[in-house]
Amino acid sequence: GDSVTQMEGPVTLSEEAFLTINCTYTATGYPSLFWYVQYPGEGLQLLLKATKADDKGSNKGFEATYRKETTSFHLEKGSVQVSDSAVYFCALSGRNAGNMLTFGGGTRLMVKP
Amino acid sequence: EPEVTQTPSHQVTQMGQEVILRCVPISNHLYFYWYRQILGQKVEFLVSFYNNEISEKSEIFDDQFSVERPDGSNFTLKIRSTKLEDSAMYFCASSPSGANVLTFGAGSRLTVL
């Protein structure tokens, strides 16, 4: 079945550092790929998405590119802020699965001033 | 911005008791979902609901679980006889259509003693 693997956290960075959170997936066909973020005490919020190969999703300075050849969707940000501290979830939705999402385990990011 | 609201935010119950978790989806959304996250584990799909019936469910969603949309506003998840392993964060989500991104609530934490 479908699965998502992302790097374990926590990831601890200083403010203005470069961020990469790796995500790889296994799926049949051509899934849509997502990054969700969960700030403390809040629900899962969509951060960005990509629906086909080579698409780049971007939002709030975060980017991720749908790489079919490496089945990856790594999240990057050039300069993190303390306010980016949260848990980040990579997820996929199979073409024939309605909106059923398969999530990775989540990666906690802690940004220190 | 419209949001999905969930109550209670935290519930503690004794093993064997019935629990009802409540969700108010976004008003013009038609698709509703429950996911759960056991502490330290992945976010897992439980069930999706459309047109007053279950459209998909996972292996986790056994006979102890049921969902209902009793009044056109609330969307509830009932666990008939809770087990220790039901302790988790339960997330409700809704979507305007089967092809749109999900909006998640903040979650209800269930602790079974």
Of A43, A105, A106, the CB nearest to B106: A43
Pairing of strands A75-77, A101-103: unpaired
B chain contacts of residue A51, beta-carbon cutoff 8 Å: none
Return the residue of A nearest to B91 by Cα.
Answer: A43
Min Cα separation A100/chain B (Å): 7
Residue B102 to residue A105, Cβ atoms within 8 A: no
Q: Does B39 touch chain A (CB under 8 A)?
A: no
| Chain A residues 19-78 within an 8 A CB cutoff of chain B | 34, 36, 41-46, 49
Residue B45 to residue A49, Cβ atoms within 8 A: no
Q: Rounded mean pLDDT of B59-71?
A: 93
Beta partners for residue B35, in sequence order? B45, B91
- Token pair, residue B21, equals 């978790």
Of B45, B99, B100, the CB nearest to A101: B45
Check: CB of residue B32 under 8 Å from CB of residue B41.
no
Residue A16, classified by CB atoms within 10 Å of its CB into exposed (0-12), middle (13-18) or buried (19+), is exposed
Check: CB of residue A80 under 8 Å from CB of residue A16.
yes
Q: Does B105 touch chain A (CB under 8 A)?
A: yes
Q: What is the pLDDT of residues B1-51, one digit of tens each?
A: 778 999 999 999 999 999 999 999 999 899 999 999 998 788 999 999 998
pLDDT at A30: 85
CA B53 to CA B70: how far, in whole Å?
12
Beta partners for residue B79, in sequence order? B19, B65
- Count CB neighbours of A63 within 10 A: 17
Q: What is the pLDDT of residues A56-112, one digit of tens each?
A: 999 999 999 999 999 999 999 999 999 999 999 999 987 666 668 899 999 999 999
- Token pair, residue A11, equals 């990831």
Residue B56 to residue A100, Cβ atoms within 8 A: yes
Confidence band, pLDDT 50/70/90 cuts, at residue A26: very high
Check: CB of residue A57 under 8 Å from CB of residue A95.
no
